[in-house]
Amino acid sequence: MAGFGKFTHAVVRGIPTSLAKEALRTDQLDVVDLEKAQKEHEVYVDVLREKLGLQVIQLPADESLPDCVFVEDAAVVCGDTALITRPGAQSRRNETVAMKSALKEMDLNIVEMTDDNATLDGGDVLFTGLEFFVGLSKRTNQKGADILADAFKDYVVSTVPVLEGLHLKSFCSMGGPGLIIIGSSELAQKTLKIMQQMSDHRYDKLTVPDDIAANCIYMNLPDKGHVLLHCTPEEFPESSKAFEKLKDYILIPVSNMEKGKVDGALTCCSVLINKKAHV
């Protein structure tokens, strides 16, 4: 767990104009303000680069891939290994091409998911530093989870059902070593119980009133210590207050209002990597 949350690089991608009208979404009624979404994303990238000092690799937007800003679904990176996924939505499969190329350039060990029957979205993968939990959802199936287990043999991989919502991380994320941030809905709490029953490890939990607000980005950075990017008070006032319990943390509220309208969450928009310097 010593290296948990330590990151040096982030891969992000621009927002195509096609996001507003063509991105996949569960709620068709919310209108996306493209300009606001792009500004929101600029701030997000700026926080990673300027505030947190990560080296940011920015892939260009691709108009033919409306969801391409949500890079998390295209790869799972742990240590020096990058698993290039096979996203559950057919329209998103080509998003992995640019991601594979970027991760190859970083000298990571690339494992590709080539089984036509396997699907896996990175948004269904929760790495705790000790083990993986993989949500079996509309986008991720058992074969996808099996391939992930094969790629990361050093860790136990457990699967949990995601019966509602898009991904496992639509209602949970890691808030630090041994700390799971979880939404308060019955579904979220039930899923956490299943995860705890499956695990040989004991996790603390921080429950927040709004499920999607439980999707946060935790980092442990030199000169900064514990850092948490989380929802803004404008989006989720009650959930935002809950993070104040994390006393020794640098808390950074980051707006995700527009991208949230197309089911995007904070973790969706970056792939974080800890690249050890070559000696």
- Tell me which of 41, 167, 226, 230 is the catalytic residue: 167
167 included as an active-site residue: yes
Contact residues for 105 (Cβ-Cβ < 8 A; gap 6+): none
| Structure tokens belonging to residue 236 | 């989720």
230 included as an active-site residue: no
Is 92 within any annotated ligand binding site? Answer: yes
- Is the distance from CB of 262 to CB of 19 less than 8 angstroms? yes
- Tell me which of 68, 172, 216, 268 is the catalytic residue: 268
- Is the distance from CB of 134 to CB of 145 less than 8 angstroms? yes
Is 202 within any annotated ligand binding site? Answer: no
- Return the biggest CA–CA distance within the chain: 53
In angstroms, the CA 14 to CA 147 distance is 29
Terminal alpha carbon distance of the chain: 23
Is 40 within any annotated ligand binding site? Answer: no
Is 73 within any annotated ligand binding site? Answer: yes
Is 72 within any annotated ligand binding site? Answer: yes
In angstroms, the CA 177 to CA 158 distance is 18
Closest to 54 (Cα-Cα) out of 119, 102, 9:
9
Binding positions for substrate are 24, 67, 72-73, 92, 139, 262
Active site residues: 167, 268
Binding positions are 24, 67, 72-73, 92, 139, 262
